[in-house]
Amino acid sequence: MEHDHEDNIRRLKTIEGHIRGIQRMLEEDKYCIDIIRQIQAVQSALNKVSAKILDGHLNTCLLNAVQGDDPAERQRVLNEITEVFDTANRS
């Protein structure tokens, strides 16, 4: 699991650099469509990080809760997953 965090941190640092690049593009009054394409690339990269984190959560926290003996904990974790998807669909 530690390896996954390192990979996600590396990806986020790369994204951070891209965001700084977008800021420079705006400061330099670059072509709007080029800026939008860069923003879309950052959004896609963030979605990939989010998907990797969700996959890790589903394969650890969710499985532990589903296989556990605490019905309240199972329901809590399932509600969290539902909330994440509801929030994503509202965006």
- The CA distance from 25 to 2, in Å, is 35
Q: What is the pLDDT of residue 66?
A: 85
Residue 1 pLDDT: 52
Query: What CATH number is given to the structural domain containing 6?
Result: 1.20.58.1000
| pLDDT score of 2 | 53
**pLDDT computed for residue 90 by the predictor:** 83
- The boundaries of the domain holding residue 52 are 2-90
Q: Which amino acid is at 69?
A: D
Number of domains present in the structure of the chain: 1
Query: What parts of the chain have a pLDDT lower than 50?
Result: none
Q: How far apart are CA 30 and CA 24, in angstroms?
A: 9
The predicted model scores a pTM of: 0.81
| Widest distance between CA atoms in the chain | 58
* DSSP, residue by residue, 27-79: HTT--HHHHHHHHHHHHHHHHHHHHHHHHHHIIIIIHHHHHSS-HHHHHHHHH
